[in-house]
Amino acid sequence: MIIENTTKLDIPESGKISRKLGVFYNPLMKFNRDISVLLINALGQDLRAADPLAGSGVRAIRFLKECKNVKEVYANDVSKEAVENMTKNAKLNDVKFSISNMDANRFLLESTGFDYIDVDPFGSPNPFLQSAIIRLSRESILAVTATDTAPLSGTYPEACLRKYWAKPMNNYLMHEVGLRILIRKVQLVGAEMEKALVPIFSYSKDHYFRIFFRCEKHKSAVDKVLEQHGYLVHCDSCLDRWVSKDIFSKKCKKNHKIDYAGPLWLGNLWDEKLAERMLKLNKDKETAEFLKIILKESKIQVVGFYDMHAAAKAYKKNSSPMSEVIEKLKKNKVSRTHFNPHSIRSDINLKNFLRVV
Ligand SMILES: C[S@@+](CC[C@H](N)C(=O)[O-])C[C@H]1O[C@@H](n2cnc3c(N)ncnc32)[C@H](O)[C@@H]1O
Ligand SMILES: [Zn+2]
């Protein structure tokens, strides 16, 4: 018996974590579900939600118990054991929702559409993106988890190119770059169907990336999304970085050879107002720390950040402590970043950053 917030779960002993076993429940993903619940509550609008890869049903049950605005939930899993388990868990929590036992794509395509679809697979969300996006209704939300962070973070650049159609970066910026590459990939699948997918809350944590998109069915909105695709250019020698629509220039200002990542999403990762509402609704201490950083980050609209360790290494000098650097920069836009504990997000230029560090 497992208790997650107010939800009780009867999980078979062997059903924890391993992807080979019939029922999947990962306690590490409680945070992922907590954030989803907060975000749905902060949205406020009434939702008809789908959980196409529902496992034990924990997500579906929590949505029904913790979000007043979730009016109906449709949960599905290809595994018979998972379906039996979520049926049991629904009874245990005294909630009612539709349960089906199909391949997620068939489940989505045979439905009439949803206002919220949560794609939470093992590994890459790729196999489910098209059918999920087809079934997004007007003014809906798409939530995507990806646990295949290795290709997106540059460990396997060829795999990233094949699966996500972009070149990753394997340095201190890799998680933000990976998240932005994944965002663009999902947006391209949306563009095909004339649906604009704009990120309203995204993050990287532990072994996964997570993005919530607001969907708008409008050609001009799609064009606007595509206009915000481009490259992040980075110099490994002097650490200068900038965004660019092309990668024709192969040198930085100091004439070093540059590295680049992309194409990727250059727009905002968060809707500031939404992050603010989530922080207000939240009651958990650890989540509050996380949301406070995200809220600060959301006010600084730049791609990438500066890293204290990378700076110390590249310039062979000791850096000042993080808190001092932030204090010295307080007249500028400056924040810690949730991507990296020894990095700061700011709109100052490299020269000013190095001077302070
Ligand atoms: C990561 S788990 C889901 C966890 C769940 N959403 C949660 O928050 O606890 C992925 C689930 O997808 C199911 N699955 C895998 N491939 C599937 C497919 N093609 N169609 C439907 N379900 C599938 C697995 O049986 C597993 O229960
Ligand atoms: Zn350089």
Q: Please check the confidence at residue 330 and state whether its pLDDT lies above 80.
A: yes
CB 305 within 8 A of CB 346: yes
Task: Report the atom number in ligand 1 closest to the C-alpha of 105.
Answer: 20
Separation CA 94–CA 313 (nearest Å): 57
Average pLDDT score over residue span 281-295: 97
CB 133 within 8 A of CB 210: no
Q: How far is the CA of 289 from the centre of ligand 1 (A)?
A: 30
Q: Among all ligands shown, which has an atom nearest to the Cα of 122?
A: 1
Task: Report the atom number in ligand 1 closest to the C-alpha of 147.
Answer: 1
Separation CA 47–CA 56 (nearest Å): 21
Element containing residue 50 per DSSP (H, E): strand 47-51
Average pLDDT score over residue span 11-37: 81
Reported as a pLDDT band with limits 50, 70 and 90, residue 24 is: confident
* Protein residue whose Cα sits closest to atom 19 of ligand 1: 103
* Protein residue whose Cα sits closest to atom 27 of ligand 1: 55
CB 89 within 8 A of CB 65: no
CATH 3.40.50.150 maps onto the chain at 2-227
Q: Is 164 left (phi over 0), alpha (psi -120 to 50) or beta?
A: alpha
Average pLDDT score over residue span 2-9: 95
Fold topology of 2-227: Rossmann fold (3.40.50)
Average pLDDT score over residue span 295-316: 96
Q: What is the spatial order of strands in the sheet that 47-51 belongs to?
A: 98-100, 70-76, 47-51, 114-119, 136-146, 208-216, 196-205
Q: How far is CA 349 from the centre of its chain?
A: 27
Which residues form ligand 1's pocket by a CB distance below 6 Å? 24-25, 29, 33, 53-56, 58-59, 77-79, 82, 103-104, 120-122
Average pLDDT score over residue span 95-104: 98
Task: Report the atom number in ligand 1 closest to the C-alpha of 33.
Answer: 8
CATH 3.30.56.70 maps onto the chain at 272-356
Q: What is the pLDDT of residue 14?
A: 65
Least-confidence region, from 4-18, 26-40, 68-82, 146-160: 4-18
| Residues in contact with 18: Cβ distance below 8 Å, sequence separation at least 6, in sequence order | none
Tell me if the pTM is above 0.85: yes
Name the token pair of 195: 């649906």
Q: How far is the CA of 143 from the centre of ligand 2 (A)?
A: 38
Q: How far is the CA of 228 from the centre of ligand 2 (A)?
A: 25
Average pLDDT score over residue span 106-122: 97
Least-confidence region, from 14-23, 43-52, 83-92, 261-270: 14-23
Q: Please check the confidence at residue 260 and state whether its pLDDT lies above 90.
A: yes
Average pLDDT score over residue span 129-139: 96
The architecture CATH gives domain 272-356: 2-Layer Sandwich (3.30)
Q: Please check the confidence at residue 19 and state whether its pLDDT lies above 70.
A: no
Average pLDDT score over residue span 126-141: 97
Reported as a pLDDT band with limits 50, 70 and 90, residue 319 is: confident
Q: What is the pLDDT of residue 22?
A: 62
Q: What is the pLDDT of residue 100?
A: 98
Phi, psi of 287 (to 5 degrees): -65, -35
